[in-house]
Structure 1
Amino acid sequence: METQSLWEHTLTFFPQFLATLKEHASADATVAVIGASDGKFVLPLATAGYRVIAIERDPFALHGGEVKLPGDTNAHAIGLIDRLKLEGLYDRVQVVEEDFLQAESPQAHCDAVWTSCSWHYSANHHRPLADFVARMQSLVRVGGLFGAEFMMPVEQRHSHIEHYTSPEKLGHHFATDWNVLLTLQSNEFTERPHVGQLQDHTHRMGLLLAARTAK
Structure 2
Amino acid sequence: MQTRSLWEHTLTFFPQFLAALKEHAPRDATVAVIGASDGKFVLPLAAAGYRVIAVERDPLALHGGEVHLPGTAHAHATGLIDRLRLEDLYDRVQVVEQDFLGSEPLDRLCDAVWTSCSWHYSVNHRRPLAEFVARMQLLVRADGLFGAEFMMPVEARHHLVDHYTSPEKLSRHFTGAWNVLLTLRTAEFTERAHHGRLQDHTHRMGLLLAARTSDHPHPHGKKNA
CA contact (8 A) 1:147 1:207 kept: yes
Counterpart of 2:76?
76
What is the TM-score normalised by the length of structure 1?
Answer: 0.98
3-state SS of paired residue (2:169) = helix
Deviation at 1:105, TM superposition (A): 2.9
CA contact (8 A) 1:179 1:212 kept: yes
Which amino acid is 2:137 matched to?
Q
Q: 2:207 aligned with 1:198, yes or no?
A: no
- Whole-Å separation in 1 of the counterparts to 2:113 and 2:134: 12
Counterpart of 1:101?
101
Query: For structure 2, which runs of at least 5 residues remain unmatched after alignment?
Result: 219-225
Query: Which one is further off, 18-27 or 64-73?
Result: 64-73
3-state SS of paired residue (2:17) = helix
Deviation at 1:103, TM superposition (A): 2.6
Could you list the per-position Cα deviations for residues 75-121 of structure 1 after superposition, in whole angstroms to 9, with x for gaps in the alignment? 11110000000000000000000000123333561000000000000
Q: How does 1:158-177 map to 2 (within 5 A)?
A: 158-177=158-177
CA contact (8 A) 1:112 1:140 kept: yes
Residues paired across the two proteins, number: 215
- Whole-Å separation in 1 of the counterparts to 2:35 and 2:59: 12
CA contact (8 A) 2:2 2:87 kept: no
- 4+ aligned runs moved over 3 Å, structure 1: none
Q: RMSD value over aligned CA atoms?
A: 1.1
- Whole-Å separation in 1 of the counterparts to 2:199 and 2:105: 36
Residues 42 and 3 of structure 1, relative CA distance in 2, 3 Å threshold: farther
Could you list the per-position Cα deviations for residues 121-167 of structure 1 after superposition, in whole angstroms to 9, with x for gaps in the alignment? 00000000000000000000010000000000000000000000000
Q: 2:9 aligned with 1:9, yes or no?
A: yes
Query: For structure 1, which runs of at least 5 residues remain unmatched after alignment?
Result: none
Deviation at 1:48, TM superposition (A): 0.4
Q: 2:149 aligned with 1:149, yes or no?
A: yes
What is the TM-score normalised by the length of structure 2?
Answer: 0.93
Q: How does 1:1-215 map to 2 (within 5 A)?
A: 4-107=4-107, 109-213=109-213, 214=216, 215=218
3-state SS of paired residue (1:150) = strand
Percent identity (aligned)? 78
Could you list the per-position Cα deviations for residues 160-196 of structure 1 after superposition, in whole angstroms to 9, with x for gaps in the alignment? 0000000000000002110000000000000110000
- Whole-Å separation in 1 of the counterparts to 2:136 and 2:187: 26
Which amino acid is 2:99 matched to?
D
CA contact (8 A) 1:107 1:138 kept: no
